[in-house]
Amino acid sequence: MKNKITLLVFLFIAFASVSVFAQKDPKAKTILDGVSQKYKSLKGLQASFEFTYGESSDIVSKSQKGEIAIKGEKYHLKLPEQEIFNNGKTVWTYIESGNYKEVTINNASEMEEELTPSSVYTIYQKGYDYWLIGEKNEKGVIIQEIELASNNSNSPFKRVKLFIDKNKKDLIGWEIYDDQGGVFKYKFNSINTEVNLPDAYFTFNPQEYGKVEIIDLR
């Protein structure tokens, strides 16, 4: 009887060890490390993209086009009727609808739990398990698909899928699945990794936007 119990304990430990190891797929980590290291080596990145949002059960999704510039932790996001500036310390969310203009100001530290255009390159390093789903060929480009799953039950993002150009080590798109059944999809249409934008590009300047209502939440 004692031998059987010992065997069951051994099998349980062995199975648990395999499960824990599987949570951090080494192949996926190698790919993600490569993308993250390349991103950190860039002076800046500028891209146009298509953004789609819908419920996971819906066939029809809402689609928009936008532009993004990233420099380290800084980013400047442009969407129809909305711009977001983040200079690493302060975040300005500017909204324009008709003749109405407003900008909401927050501390960047208060946005740390959100998935931003810059943090998507390092999200895998904390709070997520990940694995390589596979590869596919799209118009001659080998795309690697990696899925991340949050190991925090309170995380607003339960799953994230990253799509990576295998040869260039560029992140070309991602999908975010939230805890409400929503799916956010981003796909880069063009990417410029040679751009070197001034720091002022990531700071909101009210003088360039005319009369704006300012809501300071800091």
> Is 2 within the bounds of a domain?
no
What does the alpha-carbon distance between residue 39 and residue 193 come to, in Å, rounded to a whole number? 9
Residues spanned by the domain of 84: 25-216
> Is 19 within the bounds of a domain?
no
Question: 81-133 pLDDT, tens per residue?
Answer: 899 999 999 999 999 988 899 999 999 887 666 677 778 888 898 889 999 99
Question: 124-161 pLDDT, tens per residue?
Answer: 988 899 999 999 999 899 999 999 998 887 777 788 99
> Is 93 within the bounds of a domain?
yes
- Of the candidates 159, 217, 168, 210, the one whose C-alpha atom is nearest the C-alpha of residue 188 is 168
> Is 10 within the bounds of a domain?
no
CATH of the domain at 51: 2.50.20.10
> Is 5 within the bounds of a domain?
no
> Is 14 within the bounds of a domain?
no
Please give the structure tokens belonging to residue 96.
């324009």
Number of independent structural domains in the chain: 1
